[in-house]
Structure 1
Amino acid sequence: MDGPSGTGKSTVSRRLAAACDAAYLDTGAMYRAVTLAVLRAGLGGAEPAAAEVAVGAVADLRSVTDPAAPAILLHGADVEAEIRGPEVTRAVSAVSAQPAVRTALVERQRALIADAVVAGGIVVEGRDIGSVVTPDAPLKVYLTASDEVRAARRSAQDRKAGRAAETAAVLADVRRRDRLDSTRKVSPLHAAPDALVLDTDDLSVDAVLTELLRLVHERGLCRE
């Protein structure tokens, strides 16, 4: 499941995984966690030393892939709430653009996916899953939505989590991240050639989930 922020990837991916008794992996949380390590080291995301710190942090990451209670641990501590804050959000695109960081995390992601496939299956969300991480995945979906709709969703999500959010500022940040993620040299954000592109502008979460369940059942991928 690929697509930019605010398209509903996390919500529908978790619900799809739960419906199919599969594991769930949020690869964006992994990039956010190593970005947190960079910020804790007092570095900016684009600094050359940031890549070394981020790569070093990969060994101290643990992803909990239970869709009912997903979590990301750094040095054994749950950092889920902290990685969703504005500081990490501003820096994550720069850190994730570093080639060494992507190489290290893609390797870890592929190992997690391979283990989960043996155990019964997995739903993976991110920005380069279908194009880079698992190009042979049996189903690839790319979610889209307009900038304005995504900003409104992000704002609502932030307010629900108790974080301050002004829609205009969130919209500017959404556009900034889109620009950075789609123009980076390594694994830029784009739909894989064989991905099904689904516009979620006028679709509820339930409607998107219904379509995804139809697709996985059609391909015999859902274990119930």
Structure 2
Amino acid sequence: ASGKGTIARALARHFRLPHMDTGLLYRAVALKLWRWGGDPGSEFEALRACDDLGVEPDDPELRSGPVSEIASRISVYPPIRAALLKRQQDFARQDGGAVLDGRDIGTVIAPQAEVKLFVTAAPEIRAQRRLEEILSRGMRAHYEEVLADIRARDRRDSSRDVAPLKPAPDAILLDTSDLTVDQAIAKALSLVEQRLAVSR
């Protein structure tokens, strides 16, 4: 809910590049596991859910609370990350470039990327945004629960042994806490243009 997905899609449109939301891969695995009635605590069962993985980006269940929770839990398993790594790297390395968004793009998936943005926002702001998104889909949620879930996910992702959540050393930090969607996109475009001008 920092806005990284919205910003990434806007950048992809602006630069006419293909876009991948890598988080959807983990959510797709989580959704498959959930529908199977599988155990997120079982690394083996989670890995089985990676087989023949299809992603339907418009499936509303991909962004449901239970699937988000499972995705965060299974993303700490090294075999899961390894199983999805090549798919993401192949996408990033395609001719002409690409835009990827996720929590380990600049550090693990594409450490040689020409431009890296680390998009963040205060947990309270992200919780309010996520709550509004959930309610707009006709689902029920409470602010306190959403905030607790975001903080727990941040702790999990920041402390995991494999691909912990952290900015790459050369990443540009963009805090969207006090920005509207349009302002965040405009700022991101400006930052990317500046970095491209320097690197080229």
Tell me the TM-score normalised to structure 1 length: 0.82
CA distance in 1, matches of 2:71, 2:129: 19
1:181 maps onto 2:157 in alignment: yes
Q: 1:154 aligns with which of 99, 117, 130?
A: 130
- Structure 2 residue aligned with 1:214: 190
Percent of aligned pairs with the same amino acid: 40
Offset from partner CA, 1:119-139 (integer Å, 9 cap, x none):
x33211000000000000011
Instruction: State the one-letter code of the partner of 2:81.
Output: R
Q: Is the 8 A contact 1:16 1:213 kept in 2?
A: yes
Deviation for aligned residue 1:160: 1.4
Give the root-mean-square deviation of aligned CA atoms: 1.6
Paired residues of 2:27 and 2:71 also in contact (CA < 8 A): yes
Alpha-carbon separation, structure 2, partners of 1:211 and 1:121? 21
Contact 1:139 1:216 in 2 (8 A): yes
- Return the alpha-carbon distance in structure 1 between the equivalents of residues 192 and 58 of structure 2: 32
What is aligned with 1:19? 14
Contact persistence 1:51–1:101 (CA under 8 A): yes
2:59 alignment counterpart = 80
Q: 2: distance between equivalents of 1:198 and 1:27?
A: 19
Query: Structure 1 regions of 5+ residues with no counterpart?
Result: 1-5, 62-71
Pick the structure with more strand per residue.
1
Q: Aligned residue pairs: how many?
A: 197
Residues 4-43 of structure 1: matches in 2 within 5 Å? 6-43=1-38
Hey, what's the Cα distance between the residues in 1 that align with 2:66 and 2:58?
Answer: 13
What's the counterpart of residue 67 of structure 1? none
- In structure 2, the CA distance between the partners of 1:54 and 1:184, relative to structure 1 (3 Å rule), is farther
Q: Contact between 1:7 and 1:143, CA under 8 Å: does it hold in 2? A: yes
Contact 1:152–1:167, Cα closer than 8 Å, also in 2? yes
The answer to whether the 8 A contact 2:115-2:196 is kept is no
- Cα deviation for residue 208 of structure 1 reads 1.6
Provide the rounded CA distance (Å) in 1 between the counterparts of 2:82 and 2:29.
13
Q: Which residue of 2 aligns with 1:129?
A: 105
Q: Deviations over 1:187-216 (max 9, x none)?
A: 111111111111111111211211221233
1:55 CA displacement: 3.0
- Give the superposition deviation at 1:79: 5.9
Which secondary structure does the structure 1 equivalent of 2:93 belong to? helix
Q: Does 2:53 correspond to 1:60?
A: yes
Corresponding letter in the other structure for 2:178: D
Q: 1:55, 1:100 within 8 Å by CA — same for their partners in 2?
A: no
Measured after TM superposition, the shift of residue 217 of structure 1 is 2.4
Q: Does 1:172 align with 2:145?
A: no
Q: AA paired with 2:30?
A: T
